[in-house]
A and B are shown apart, each in its own frame.
Chain A
Amino acid sequence: MHIPDGFLNLPTAVASGAVAAGAVGYACARLRRTLPPEKAPLLGVMGAFVFAGQMVNFPVAGGTSGHLLGAALVTILLGPWAAMLVMTAVLVVQCFVFQDGGLSALGANVLNMAVVAPLVAAAVYRALGRAVPSGGRPFLPTVVAAWATVVVAALFCAAELVLSGTAAAAVVFPAMLGIHALIGVGEALLTAGALAVIAAARPDLWPVPRPAEVAE
């Protein structure tokens, strides 16, 4: 759902860019205080994995494709603040090197996929953590969080299109919701699959969330 140049008007682009910049700046400030130095390579390789995963479009219904977003995967592994930095780096490289997502829409794309998506993933993952029996794998929180990231990011994208006067709310919200509810199923399967593989080698990287604790 990378928004290209031409879809957003100037006020929407500037406003979403300002919110995105503030959020990513806050994430960086938090990481500066809290990130263990030995996690630096893990942030790098997760960004690389998300970039690669986003290249692989899979077909969904009606001649439409979707691809991994990756925000839930990185949030569950590294927490929402690290995920914001990782997802922002992916989007910036995609925009400047690969012409994927417009420069004028970079702020909106960062807001939807690098700020909102990790916050949604963290909130849902934590909220559903209490449903996981002790010793169990957090499959349910993982798949619901992954599905929700795609759907909520798509709704933010739709809202930006409405604010820009590009599309009418009555049609663009149902259209974006419908297709991304399907793409979100792919996101849920890919996220749980990737975490199952990683947890086979490193069970500590797929922690069972507890509602009271903040995933850092």
Chain B
Amino acid sequence: MKRTAWLGILLAALGVAAVLAPFASSWPDGLEKVAETLGFAHRAEIGPLVSSPIPDYGMPGVGNSRLATTAAGVVGTLVVFAVLYGLVRLLVARRRGEDARTE
């Protein structure tokens, strides 16, 4: 895999999170709309079981809501990349270790 190809996709992801995400529609999504229409949306009012550092894609402490979304999106994009890259390297590294032992 050429480095330029995947770097291009990562830059595109950061661009989408930073530039497009702040202008996302704030209408309810399909499930939320169905929950409102059918009258079970209130069941989510118990709130989340765990608190999150960046709830609802808004970086705490950033006054401007669009900038807060940009910051949250960039952080999230990089976190997902780092988590997956690390996981896959672990998976593949373990295979290499086994290959070495069986040789």
Where the two chains meet, the residues of A that have a C-beta atom closer than 8 Å to any C-beta of B are 1-7, 28, 31-33, 35, 37-53, 55-60, 62-67, 85-86, 89-90, 92-100, 102-104, 154, 157, 161, 166-167, 171-172, 175-176, 179-180, 183, 198, 201-202, 205
A12 to B73, CA, bound (A): 31
How many interface residues does B have (CB within 8 Å)? Answer: 66
Give the residue name and chain of the B residue nearest to A46 (CB): B9
Q: Closest Cβ of chain A: how far from B71's Cβ, in Å?
A: 12
Give the residue name and chain of the B residue nearest to A161 (CB): B40
Q: Is the CB of B89 within 8 A of A90?
A: no
Q: Is the CB of B54 within 8 A of A7?
A: no
B13 contact set on A, CB distance < 8 A:
45, 48-49, 51-53
A100 to B13, CA, bound (A): 19
B10 contact set on A, CB distance < 8 A:
44-45, 48-49
- Interface residue? B28 (CB, 8 A): yes
A42 to B26, CA, bound (A): 31
Question: B15-48 toward A: CB 8 Å interface, digit per residue (1/0)?
Answer: 0110011011111111101110110100111111
Where the two chains meet, the residues of B that have a C-beta atom closer than 8 Å to any C-beta of A are 1, 3, 5-10, 12-14, 16-17, 20-21, 23-31, 33-35, 37-38, 40, 43-57, 69, 72-73, 76-85, 87-89, 91-92, 94-96
A155 to B72, CA, bound (A): 30
A40 to B84, CA, bound (A): 8
Q: Is the CB of A43 within 8 A of B84?
A: yes
A52 to B78, CA, bound (A): 10
A171 contact set on B, CB distance < 8 A:
38
Q: Closest Cβ of chain B: how far from A179's Cβ, in Å?
A: 4
Majority SS of interface residues in chain B? helix
A89 contact set on B, CB distance < 8 A:
80, 83-84, 87
Q: Is the CB of A52 within 8 A of B31?
A: no
B88 contact set on A, CB distance < 8 A:
31, 35, 39-40, 43-44, 85
Pull 17 A–B residue pairs with CB atoms less than 8 Å apart, ordered by A.
Answer: A6-B43, A42-B5, A44-B80, A44-B81, A48-B84, A56-B23, A57-B24, A64-B29, A67-B24, A85-B84, A89-B83, A94-B76, A99-B52, A99-B54, A99-B55, A176-B30, A179-B30
9 nearest interchain CB pairs?
A: A44-B85, A55-B21, A52-B17, A65-B25, A99-B52, A52-B16, A65-B27, A49-B13, A48-B81
Q: Closest Cβ of chain B: how far from A110's Cβ, in Å?
A: 14
Task: Name B76's contact: one of A97, A102, A201 (CB within 8 Å).
Answer: A97
A10 to B7, CA, bound (A): 42
Task: Name A43's contact: one of B30, B50, B85 (CB within 8 Å).
Answer: B85
A65 to B33, CA, bound (A): 9
